[in-house]
Chain A
Amino acid sequence: MKRPDSRTLALGAALALSVAAALQPEAEAEQPTYDVIAFVDITGSMNARDYAAADGKPQSRLDAVKSRLATAVGRLPCGSRFGLGVFTERRVFLLFEPMETCRNFNAISGAIAGLDWRMAWEGDSRVSAGLFRAIDAARPAGADVMFLTDGQEAPPLRTDMTQSYDGEKGDVRGLIVGVGGTDLVPIPKYNDFGREVGFFSMDDVPQASRLGPPPEAAESLPGYNARNAPFGEMPAGEEHLTSVKEPYLRELGEMTGLGYARLGAPDDLAAAIAANARPRPLPVAIDLSPAPAAAALLALVALFGAPLVARLRRSRQTYA
């Protein structure tokens, strides 16, 4: 038999390559996935409206979190797991344990949409205590923590006492997400039926901490009375207004080994999760079949294209 010509070779090569592609060669690769429990602050200051919705209307911090968090969770790679909890007073309440994000996205986004300040069981907002509890709550699930808050401590912290974190710094990873604008805004006030009745005024909220023993040299404070006013009179202050307390949240992050990010667009939020949470490599198979298939296509294009090009060139020579 004669030596096969170039067309037979091209055809044979295309056949062999397409069989190779049909056999679906695969390579093993690892994709990072994340396992986080988000705790959302549902205290009163999260009702302050310093965001704008897509239609330009003022949006409360809690609504801003709800709309962005759900989208950000959708951006996490499939195989990631997401749990949800709420924070108020000085503790957290876990709503559900982490679940896979892609298959259960409707349940997750429905649960996030169901978050409401009315779920809150007490009015206090001890952010640091809540954060420490959140870390404790994430530990048994083996998940990382995400704590979304404006950092508004209510009642305010004692300036003469420093806080400390007893846990092991960095054994749970994750991030604190600062929510709110940098300008002070008023906090809406609600009555017993949950209807909005104006804003908190300076006299409605304690402007300084009254917890613990009075500070030294309290006698010299204005209005001091050993029995009735051991801390002196309540000073004027801005605790009835709120803004995101970034330096404080960064400090808490340093203390606990968590990262810090400001609530941004959903993509940025997903990127912040990826940057601060522990990536959990999930083996995924990468399909290699496009390579032989593309080569087979090239062989066929050469097989059919070369004579066409040659014919065109010849016809140009003829008429030239």
Chain B
Amino acid sequence: MSWIGFDHPWALLLLPLALLPLFVSPLRLSSVPSDEVAPPDPLSAIAGATIAGLGALAIALIVFGLSGAHRRDQTVERRGAGANIVLLIDRSSSMDSTFANRAPDGGEESKSAAARRLLTDFAARRPADRVAVAAFSTAPMLVTPMTDKHDAIRAAIAAIDRPGLAHTDVGRGLSLAFSLFDDESSETSRAIVLVSDGAAVIDRRVQDALRDAAARDPVRLYWLFLRTQGAKGIYDAPAPGEPDSPQVYPERHLNLFLKSLGLPYRAFEANGPKEVSDAIREIDQLEQRPTTYREVIPRQDLDWLCYWLAAGALLLLLGAKFAERRLDDGPIAADWNYGARPAGRAT
């Protein structure tokens, strides 16, 4: 009975009152000295027991109602098509300017505002997802742990166009992202979506840690690169003779590094909100794997049901009461009235 709960369990102490009807009948007492005078009648016995039972039932139901009986909220596991996703979002201050690298004005939204809008839609379209949100800038930060509460996911995504910080430490951000998958996220449906408008050199030690993490927890990796006008792109190769170093081409080298992890990996280069939207739509289509997620069915009060049932029992009792015939007031009494004298009121 773990599914039933009581708001005021102490009210259940009134339950013994339900025994009262077993001792007392709601019908008037008759002063026949003994019921031996009446022949045994199974029908009457059943009727009597029913009347007592109905009284007990009515009292018990009202007590249950008063104690606030309810069905507890239930979590049901549902299977859906979705994924366990870690959104790893760049919160460096460059995200607060537009794709044209200007301060956002009425006409053009900032990269972070576009990301916020499109990711909010993305999460809203995918009810079967569990999502964790992490941010990185100078340091990686956990925003919300893996959760299937879409309210929480929305609130976490809503904060990404708040003012950001200075740097873009992608490496440590990724290593935080790998750590956010919990035991509940099934291994076949894990994905990391990295949203950033730049890259940075990843420290050797962090590179090693990331390779370890990638070997341990295989995930699918998406990099949504919001390319600012004039900035270097993922696929920009240096001209012959120019040095090809991560310091000069961090985006190109991050792409190469992510490829080298041996994970299923896609990079999207978006030059404007439209392309971000297309990329997110594509991720949406790719990440449709069987997942289990929990849905909470909220608690349901049962007191109204208790009261209706009690009312039903009382209605039957009232019917019995109206059908009551006394030995001295009906013609039925005429045959049997040898033992009875006109009765006084019993109460």
Q: Which residues of A pack against B, CB within 8 Å?
A: 5-8, 11-12, 14-15, 18-19, 21-24, 83, 86, 91, 93-100, 103-104, 106-108, 110-111, 114, 118-122, 137, 287, 289-290, 293-294, 296-297, 300-301, 303-308, 310-311
- Closest residue on chain A to residue B61 by CB atoms: A18
B159 near A94 with CB under 8 A, answer yes
- Give which listed residue, B17, B137, B145, contacts A114 with CB less than 8 A: B145
- Closest residue on chain B to residue A5 by CB atoms: B28
For B138, what are the chain A residues with a Cβ–Cβ distance below 8 Å?
121-122
Min CB distance, B69 to chain A, in Å?
A: 12
For B307, what are the chain A residues with a Cβ–Cβ distance below 8 Å?
18-19, 21-22, 289, 293
For B24, what are the chain A residues with a Cβ–Cβ distance below 8 Å?
304-305, 307-308, 311
- Give which listed residue, A95, A103, A300, contacts B156 with CB less than 8 A: A95
Q: Which residues of B pack against A, CB within 8 Å?
A: 14, 17, 20-21, 23-29, 55, 58-59, 62-63, 65-66, 91, 133, 135, 137-145, 147, 149, 151-152, 154-156, 158-159, 162-167, 301, 303-304, 307-308, 310-311, 314-315, 317-318, 321-322, 346-347
- Closest residue on chain B to residue A13 by CB atoms: B314
Q: How far is the CA of A55 from the CA of B330 in the complex (A)?
A: 80
Q: How far is the CA of A107 from the CA of B142 in the complex (A)?
A: 11
* Dominant secondary structure of chain A at its interface with chain B: helix
In order of increasing CB-CB distance, the 7 nearest A-B pairs are: A110-B145, A114-B142, A22-B307, A107-B152, A121-B138, A99-B155, A304-B20
A96 near B156 with CB under 8 A, answer yes
Q: What are 24 A-B interface contacts by the 8 Å CB criterion? A: A7-B347, A11-B26, A14-B314, A15-B311, A18-B62, A22-B304, A24-B304, A93-B141, A95-B141, A96-B155, A110-B142, A111-B145, A119-B140, A120-B139, A121-B137, A121-B138, A290-B65, A293-B65, A293-B303, A300-B59, A304-B20, A304-B21, A310-B347, A311-B24
Min CB distance, B296 to chain A, in Å?
A: 8
Given contacts A95-B135, A107-B147, A119-B141, contact A300 B55 (CB under 8 A): yes
B158 near A118 with CB under 8 A, answer no
Q: How far is the CA of A310 from the CA of B28 in the complex (A)?
A: 13
For A110, what are the chain B residues with a Cβ–Cβ distance below 8 Å?
142, 144-145, 147
